[in-house]
Structure 1
Amino acid sequence: MGRRALPKLDPQLNLSANFRTLEELPQPWNPSELFAMDAPLEIEVGSGKGLFLQNAALTCPEHNFLGIEVAQKYARFTAARLAKRDLRNALAVHGDGLRLLREIVPDNALSAVHVYFPDPWWKKRHHKRRVLSEPFLADVYRTLGPQGKLHFWTDVKAYFDATLELIAAHTDFEGPLAVPEKPPEHDLDFRTHFERRTRLNEDPVYRAEFIKE
């Protein structure tokens, strides 16, 4: 099922505090140039419409959150929903999440990395395009600080099992740790819009958490 068309953004909305391109990020890495406060930083790779970033920033104001999205229109849509709520601890970035971790974020800089419902690239010849690859996982492990967490959710059992095998074979993460499903308290009480749609269709969601010791 394809993504629905996004609503038009308010042209009067100021996105300057909540939107960057990958090329506009500070190098060398300096989160104080991006956020209003110095705080633990969590990164979401593939932020989609930004539901996770919005809810995480609201419920955990003592952390900073950066979501990177390869589709510019979705990154800007996410920035707009953050700007409407004046969330200064959340930032939407347009660009390649693999490049962000590989080229920009230094060692031990993050408290968590979130990957929710990545494209499964169904055909075997396309599996090399999956986000959760050996090089990406190596960068996740490198950029997480001690006790940093990797959160991975998908609705594709085969992708879930293959990724768990990859993590076990090529990283020193502790896990997988079980993540229980909780009932939503309201209509948007989900990690992502994709989780909402999947659960409303009564399809299973596979969740795992890993910790860097």
Structure 2
Amino acid sequence: MSDSLDFAPEKQQAAPDGTGGRPPAASVRHTRAKGEPRFPDGPKADPAGSHFERRIRSFQPRRSRVTAGQADALQRLWPAWGLDIDGQPLDLTELFGNTRPVVLEIGFGMGEATARMAAADPDTNILAVDVHTPGQGHLLQLAERDGLTNVRVGNGDAIILLREMLPPHCLGGLRVYFPDPWPKKRHHKRRLIQPEFLTLAATRLRPGATVHCATDWEPYAEQMLEVLTAHPDFENTQPDGGYAPRPGFRPLTRFEGQGLDKGHVVNDLLFRRVPLPDQPSTGG
């Protein structure tokens, strides 16, 4: 029994060869044999395999339709700009080709906000991690279109990346925007922002690095504020100890705008990694 790629055709510019820029039907929908990888040169379906213990995860992989353009970006750009989170030690200088600060973004959706932040701050590298294949392809498309050399797209479990692959105190920041709120009480244990996660993240963040979270689910915002405030490795950047105004560097996305139009309240949290015992504060 064969399996099919979920490619959705997308509008394209007219081509000089008279084809209208439309790819042949075979390149839009391809039948692959059982066991054949979905994208031979792209992200792996399960990069870490079974090398790490089973645990409750904060994300739910989703199968969605991949456009022909996204599939093309995954095939062409993944070898240079993609990273499969497989548990092997990672050299960020080698990954980006420079020593600029690296911000880890966990969960980037379709990547519009990530691309805009990367364009606005070319001196900061962004390692953007997600498990949503269409979003990975779309972010690669945006990076190529806008000439962004400071974006790398990670595929897989961010916990494995933090715990197994990154060296201590290598990150200049952490961004978690609109993570799955897991609203049902029995699922709260799946939420990403938990004390154990913050303890792990603290070992990879440089002193003074910023942890920036945002959510439109108020009960989750309250939990985020509670656990970040209680954690000894982080301090609130707000003098009143509450939520932060949306900083100008975080773009207002279409999704967020639709939520605001419906009366949703979006809360930003900006916390700073406190200095290590033998280091002074960097401020910021």
Give the TM-score of the pair, scaled to structure 2: 0.65
| 1:9 partnered with 2:72 | no
| 1:96 partnered with 2:161 | no
Contact 1:19 1:76 in 2 (8 A): no
| 1:72 partnered with 2:133 | yes
Aligned equivalents of 2:229, 2:245: Cα separation in 1? 21
**Aligned partner (choices 197, 221, 227) of residue 136 of structure 1:** 197
Name the counterpart of 1:161. 222
Contact 2:168 2:203 in 1 (8 A): yes
**Aligned partner (choices 233, 245, 253) of residue 172 of structure 1:** 233
Larger radius of gyration, structure 1 or 2?
2
Task: Give SS of 1:125's match.
Answer: helix
CA RMSD of aligned residues (A): 2.6
Cα distance change, pair 193–36 in 1 and its aligned pair in 2 (3 A): farther
Name the counterpart of 2:270. 209
Contact 1:113 1:150 in 2 (8 A): yes
Cα distance change, pair 182–39 in 1 and its aligned pair in 2 (3 A): closer
**Aligned partner (choices 150, 166, 175) of residue 105 of structure 1:** 166
Q: CA deviation at 1:175?
A: 0.5
Contact 2:117 2:251 in 1 (8 A): no
| 1:152 partnered with 2:213 | yes
Name the counterpart of 1:20. 83
What do the CA deviations read for 1:158-179 (whole angstroms, capped 9, x no partner)?
Answer: 1111121112223331115343
| 1:36 partnered with 2:92 | no
Q: Which amino acid aligns with 1:89?
A: N
Corresponding residue pairs, total: 206
Q: CA deviation at 1:141?
A: 1.3
Cα distance change, pair 201–36 in 1 and its aligned pair in 2 (3 A): farther
Q: Which amino acid aligns with 1:8?
A: A
Task: Give SS of 1:87's match.
Answer: coil
Task: Give SS of 1:34's match.
Answer: helix
Q: Which amino acid aligns with 2:256?
A: E
Percentage identity across paired residues of the two chains: 31
Task: Give SS of 1:65's match.
Answer: strand
Aligned equivalents of 2:119, 2:63: Cα separation in 1? 25
Cα distance change, pair 140–192 in 1 and its aligned pair in 2 (3 A): farther
Aligned equivalents of 1:28, 1:211: Cα separation in 2? 26
Q: Which amino acid aligns with 1:19?
A: G
